[in-house]
Amino acid sequence: MTKAPDEPRPLPAAQKHPLDNVVWQALATRQACFSQVAGAARRFLPEIGPLAGFAAPDEPDYEALARLAGSGFIAIFLDAPFQTRPGWKVVGGAPLVQMVWQGTELPETPAPEPIVRLRAADSAEMIELTDLTKPGPFGARTHELGDFYGVRIGGKLAAMAGERMKVDGHTEVSAVCTHPEHLGKGYAAALMRAVMRGIRARGETPFLHSRADNARAIGLYEKLGFRHRFAGHFVVLARD
């Protein structure tokens, strides 16, 4: 594991924007302390999640990625659908969109229920909710990546949202999910605003990722001021 202070480093000349090749950028700069490194590949610690990236996506180092994947899963973002490679099998994936907040303000809209700050002690409940709702990978230490907020109904975690990847000037809004019994009550929007206010208070811009076919979620994100920046694919791989 490579450790580094939570300080942005200069982008390579070929990298035109911090959100280009965003997984690698996060793991090579502000979140290097959460990364494992092999050759020209990096991944988040397994207890955080399977996301990984290449230093040069046009020349991907799949040999190094194999060392990081071990016998588990690994997930990468691609500009185009994954092309079959010897030694790898696809176990999941979908078209992906990256969206960036382009709003000017976040109104102090009253939340339908009290919003609470989630802590390490809430990790098991967070994992249970994300396992049920599938907003994306969430591990035992994912909560360490940033601030997380939730809504409790009857003492049980009903909805949550938080932060994941961090690059120069930007923080990702992630793990936005609501228990199926509590959909349509405005919890996701209220929680996202809470997360986004924290990001904006640091002088950063919120961004996020979504499956391209998740029209319900994308509609919410657009109402909150997010706009499409990138369309690509994510793929979940395992060694064959």
Distance of alpha carbon 195 from alpha carbon 171, whole angstroms:
10
Confidence at residue 6, expressed as pLDDT on a 0 to 100 scale: 42
What is the domain partition of the chain in residue ranges?
22-95, 100-231
Confidence at residue 4, expressed as pLDDT on a 0 to 100 scale: 42
Strand blocks (E) in 71-154: 73-78, 88-101, 115-117, 148-153
Strand blocks (E) in 19-72: 35-38, 41-44, 51-54
Confidence at residue 175, expressed as pLDDT on a 0 to 100 scale: 97
Per CATH, domain 100-231 is 3.40.109.10: no
Confidence at residue 25, expressed as pLDDT on a 0 to 100 scale: 97
Nearest CA to 195 among 172, 177, 214, 211? 172
Confidence at residue 2, expressed as pLDDT on a 0 to 100 scale: 42
Block mean pLDDT (10 aa), the chain, length 240: 41 69 97 98 97 96 97 96 95 97 86 94 98 95 98 97 98 98 96 97 98 96 97 96
Q: Which residues pair with 13 in a beta bridge?
A: none
Confidence at residue 176, expressed as pLDDT on a 0 to 100 scale: 98
Q: What are phi and psi of 135, to 5 degrees?
A: -75, -10
